[in-house]
């Protein structure tokens, strides 16, 4: 199972470490202290669920929006992978952004893309390429 530390989770969600800690304390984000050295960790699946929630209800302050070039690499977390025999649709949340990429099922399998896995969306024009982080 993929797990993330608080700082990684904050980076993926586009919020501060303190916000993630507050969500854990309030029960909004499940966490455990099973990580190395007793550090708090969050399962990738739970993080993906919260990322999807935040994308569906974007009430948060978007302080990260800036002018960007035509080529962008956005860190994020996979929230859903839908495969058939030929193609896969991969959805991910990158901070305040929801990204969707279409690729071959073989590519998605080779990259190990599944809910909760951290990945990078590379954007050029209308194409979104997802790389395993």
CATH architecture, domain 3-56: Orthogonal Bundle (1.10)
Write out the two tokens for 67.
């002018």
CATH architecture, domain 71-132: Beta Barrel (2.40)
Look over the chain and give the mean of its residue pLDDT values, rounded to a whole number.
Answer: 84
Listed as ranges, residues in the chain with pLDDT below 50 are 60-70
So what's the pLDDT on residue 36? 63
* CB hemisphere CA count around 48 (13 angstroms): 22
pLDDT digits over 47-82, tens only?
A: 999 988 887 765 544 444 444 343 577 889 999 999
Q: Distance (Å, rounded) from C-alpha 123 to C-alpha 128?
A: 5
Q: What pTM did the predictor assign?
A: 0.60
Each domain of the chain, given as residue ranges in start order, spans 3-56, 71-132
């Amino acid at each position: 199972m993929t797990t993330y530390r608080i700082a990684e989770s904050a980076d993926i969600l586009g919020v501060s470490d303190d916000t993630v800690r507050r969500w854990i304390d309030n029960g909004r984000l499940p966490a455990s202290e099973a990580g190395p050295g007793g550090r708090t960790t969050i399962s990738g699946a739970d993080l993906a669920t919260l990322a999807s929630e935040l994308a569906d209800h974007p009430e948060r302050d978007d302080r990260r929006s800036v002018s960007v070039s035509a080529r962008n690499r956005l860190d994020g977390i996979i929230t859903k992978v839908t495969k058939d025999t030929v193609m896969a649709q991969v959805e991910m949340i990158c901070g305040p952004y929801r990204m969707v990429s279409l690729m071959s099922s073989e590519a998605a399998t080779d990259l190990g893309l599944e809910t909760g896995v951290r990945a990078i969306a590379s954007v050029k024009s209308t194409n979104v390429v997802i790389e395993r982080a």
